[in-house]
């Protein structure tokens, strides 16, 4: 489907300012929505909403259906009567400019546990009724997720394939005993999911009041160590012990000479088809309850995906295997209706992938940082050739910031030689008629002026930040997903500059 001409900002909620170690769904999120309005923006793009595990990546979640309790606002809990200010008196002081996940997670978890312990005593009748209604309407995923998280806690977060074999194979007697033994932890997991959902829906209501649509994000694949894989083993290529026989990734590309070995279990698409793609229908219905538009990461995997042996050390030894193609999306359209989807179609894209995307009328993606590099294919990615039905970015969460990218040196976050960098700079500056002193605003203006209906700018580029503000470096295990901004960085003149550009390029509706 085609979207109205508009623009927005890419900012994950964890990057919001706030006093409790990580961005959350409280007052600073509402202030952020007001800031988007001041900038004349109508779109807020985020990364996946899920509960993060090892590595803190939102693309490796314990559930594709659940929300991340780390985002729960303590201020709203106090306002709602579920937490007292006294509980926060001794909360540690954390950095304002990055998320120290290793310290923040246990500190916030202790507060959330106290909320769960006092829920029966503190919650109002209306809150308890809302909680029970939430549990009932989400039981198709919530029951398995809550049990999974309770068992993860009982096993000190060990992967589910290391649990007792009866639990691994989901023996009914073992599951019933686990439900009895861990009933408190199960209930706590459900309470936190209700609180997350309640706070999220209130924030989304504010977005609707401000005429802002949230662009969500889902990975095509799910994490192996997840309730999704554990509770639906028949839908994945897993052996008798639950371990994946083949895993997902991508072949060598711009980001990595050996490819990316993601490790996600691959779908048994034949099994999904036999159910009428019921699991995918539930998945997409859930995400559309949370956001207005969905960006599907690694869209090309629906046409064909890179299958890597489960014991391979890198992604280099894989092969392309056909995906479900149109059949999946026809089932989704029949069950859900119109699908406001953005297809992440970066990387190695073949003509059949383009055909599938265009048949479905999904907008693809164009990234300005890729527009000036390879002299053999650069014209394909030049902004003057972008189609109307696509989304243009200066960069994504996987790219360096525009300032960091432009000033990168060989061997420092770059696979390019100095000669290649110099040549690319000449091409960029000539194309932009620029001296490069405000390269981030040059690319922002270029994106906003361009033909695509949708333009998305990472906040780091609006702030003019360098590589220190990069969100993720693909293929690098540590140090990602940590960046946060401070309100003083978002100066009034930056907001006005964005608003002016949005008005001049007819991307604002007010």
Q: Domain locations in the chain?
A: 1-45+365-510, 56-212, 232-343
Which strand (E) or helix (H) includes residue 7?
strand 6-10
Q: Is 136 a catalytic residue?
A: no
Closest to 102 measured CA to CA, from 147, 70, 65: 70
User: pLDDT by residue (tens digit) across 225-266?
Assistant: 999 999 999 999 999 999 999 999 988 876 678 888 989 999
Please tell me which residue in 56, 144, 297, 442 is annotated as part of the active site.
Answer: 297
CA distance 22 to 425: 36
Q: How many residues does the chain have?
A: 510
Mean pLDDT of 456-481: 93
Q: Is 398 a catalytic residue?
A: yes
Q: What is the mean pLDDT of the chain?
A: 94
CA distances from 112 to 21, 74, 119, 149, 308 (A): 14, 9, 10, 14, 39
**Centroid of chain to Cα 17:** 18
Which strand (E) or helix (H) includes residue 171?
none
Domain 1-45+365-510 adopts which CATH fold? TIM Barrel (3.20.20)
Contact (CB, 8 A) for 22 and 70: yes
pLDDT value for 510: 60
Helices (H), 55-155: 74-79, 101-117, 119-122, 125-137, 139-154
pTM over 0.85: yes
pLDDT value for 380: 57
CA distance 321 to 302: 10
CA distance 482 to 484: 7
Tell me: pLDDT of 412 over 60.
no
Please tell me which residue in 56, 225, 344, 424 is annotated as part of the active site.
Answer: 344
- Spell out a b/e string for 268-286, using b for 16 or more CB atoms within 10 Å of the CB, else e: bbeebeeeebebbbebbeb
Please tell me which residue in 398, 424, 442, 461 is annotated as part of the active site.
Answer: 398
pLDDT value for 372: 85
């Amino acid at each position: 489907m085609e979207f109205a001409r508009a623009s927005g900002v890419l900012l994950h909620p964890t990057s919001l300012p706030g006093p409790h170690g990580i961005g959350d769904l409280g007052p600073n999120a509402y202030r952020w929505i007001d800031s988007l309005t001041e900038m004349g923006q109508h779109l807020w793009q985020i990364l996946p909403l899920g509960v993060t595990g090892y590595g803190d990546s939102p693309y490796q979640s314990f559930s594709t259906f659940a929300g991340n309790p780390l985002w729960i606002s303590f201020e709203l809990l106090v306002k709602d009567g579920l937490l007292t200010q006294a509980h926060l008196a001794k909360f540690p002081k954390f950095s304002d400019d990055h998320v120290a996940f290793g310290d923040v997670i246990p500190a916030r978890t202790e507060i959330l546990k106290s909320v769960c312990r006092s829920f029966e005593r503190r919650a109002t009748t209306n809150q308890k009724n809302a909680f029970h209604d939430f549990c009932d309407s989400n039981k198709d995923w919530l029951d398995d997720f809550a049990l999974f998280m309770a068992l993860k806690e009982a096993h000190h977060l060990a992967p589910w394939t290391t649990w007792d074999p009866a639990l691994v194979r989901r023996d009914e007697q073992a599951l019933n005993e686990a439900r009895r033994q861990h009933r408190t932890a199960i209930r706590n997991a459900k309470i936190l999911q209700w609180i997350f959902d309640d706070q999220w829906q209130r924030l989304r209501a504010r977005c609707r009041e401000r005429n802002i649509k949230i662009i969500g994000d889902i990975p095509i694949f799910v994490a192996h160590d997840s309730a999704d894989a554990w509770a639906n083993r028949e839908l994945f290529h897993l052996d008798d012990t639950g371990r994946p026989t083949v895993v997902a990734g991508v072949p060598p590309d711009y980001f990595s000479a050996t490819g990316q070995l993601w490790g996600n279990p691959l779908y048994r698409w034949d099994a999904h088809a036999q159910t009428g793609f019921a699991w995918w229908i539930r998945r997409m219905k859930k995400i559309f309850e949370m956001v207005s538009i969905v960006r599907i990461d690694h869209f090309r995997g629906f046409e064909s995906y890179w299958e890597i042996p489960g014991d391979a050390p890198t992604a280099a030894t894989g092969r392309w295997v056909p995906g479900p193609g149109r059949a999946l999306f026809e089932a989704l359209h029949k069950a859900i209706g119109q699908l406001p989807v953005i297809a992440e179609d970066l990387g190695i894209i073949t003509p059949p992938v383009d055909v599938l995307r265009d048949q479905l009328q999904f907008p693809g993606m164009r990234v300005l940082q890729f527009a000036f590099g390879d002299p053999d294919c650069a014209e394909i990615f030049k902004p003057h050739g972008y189609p109307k039905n696509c989304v243009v970015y200066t960069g994504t969460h996987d790219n360096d910031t525009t300032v960091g990218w432009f000033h990168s040196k060989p061997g420092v976050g770059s696979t390019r030689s100095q000669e290649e960098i110099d040549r690319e700079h000449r091409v960029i500056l000539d194309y932009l008629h620029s001296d490069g002193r405000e390269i981030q605003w040059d690319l922002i203006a270029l994106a906003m002026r361009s033909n695509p209906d949708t333009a998305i700018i990472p906040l780091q580029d609006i702030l003019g930040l360098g590589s220190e503000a990069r969100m993720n470096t693909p293929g690098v295990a540590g140090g990602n997903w940590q960046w946060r901004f401070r309100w003083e960085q978002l100066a009034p003149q930056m907001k006005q500059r964005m608003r002016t550009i949005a008005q001049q390029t007819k991307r604002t509706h007010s």
